[in-house]
Every structure is written in C-alpha cells, then in structure tokens.
Amino acid sequence: MTEETNTLKETVISVLKTIYDPEIPVDIWTLHLIYGVDVDDEGNVKIVMTVTAPNCPVAETLPAEVRNRVQAIMGVKKVDVELTFDPVWSIDMLSDEAKAELGLDGEYGSFSASDFLY
C-alpha cells in the first residue's frame, strides 16, 4: 500500500467519524459499526459495516449516507458498501469511550442491541 493510499484510507476513516447513528449520539466508527475499510491503489474503497439491529430504521439509509459521504472525498473513484450482520452488533462492541459517552462505563450487565435501542 502506497503512502497516498494510506492517506486516503485515513481520510475515509476521518469522514466515517463524522457520521452518526441517528438514534445514538455516537459516531459509527466509535460504535464499531464499521467492520472493515479497504482502499486500493486505484482509489476504490470497500467498506463492510453493520447497523445496531437487523430491523434498524436506518438499515437502508445509513449505508447510502456512508457511500455518498465517502464518494465525495477527493481521490476516491468508487465506493462499495457491504451491509452485514455477521457478526451481529452488540453493546459489548462499544469502545470504552462510547460506553462513557452513553453512561455505560460502570457495570451494565449483558444487553442486546434491541434492549438498548428499542
């Protein structure tokens, strides 16, 4: 991977950090909704992501927003966003930072996404 490709990948990640799940006041990168970001030397970007639950109201619109925002980055040729539920997202995937932002930095037991969001 070239230095230019690495820089482009860092820019993609920076943009992902500005996209928020509308139901949770934390960005999708910090929520760990992004499972992978690959950038090739041609400027093609592949993003593998999930949403907090399969029946999430933004399951269709959030990947489209990700695609549109990343496509707007100078140097990006094509963006492929793959939505997956493997593994299924859970609150346990939250970073310590996200847990603190949501007031979950103490003992919170075992929750599923549906307990948390719906």
The strand order across the sheet containing 78-83 reads 34-39, 44-49, 78-83
Domains located in the chain, CATH noted: 3-89 (3.30.300.130)
Q: How far apart are CA 118 and CA 96, in angstroms?
A: 22
In 1-18, which positions are buried (b, 16+ CB within 10 angstroms) versus exposed (e)?
eeeebeebbebbeebbee
Q: How far apart are CA 45 and CA 55, in angstroms?
A: 26
What number of other Cβ atoms are within 10 A of residue 44's Cβ?
A: 13
Q: What is the pLDDT of residue 105?
A: 64
pTM of the model: 0.84
Structure tokens at 3: 């230095």
Q: What is the pLDDT of residue 20?
A: 93
48 phi and psi angles, rounded to 5 deg: -105, 125
Q: What is the pLDDT of residue 107?
A: 55
91 HSE (CA, 13 A, CB side): 19
Q: What is the pLDDT of residue 104?
A: 76
pLDDT in tens, the chain (118 residues): 799 999 999 999 999 999 998 888 889 998 999 999 999 999 999 999 999 888 888 888 999 999 999 999 999 999 999 999 999 998 888 878 778 777 776 654 555 445 555 4
Q: What is the pLDDT of residue 118?
A: 41
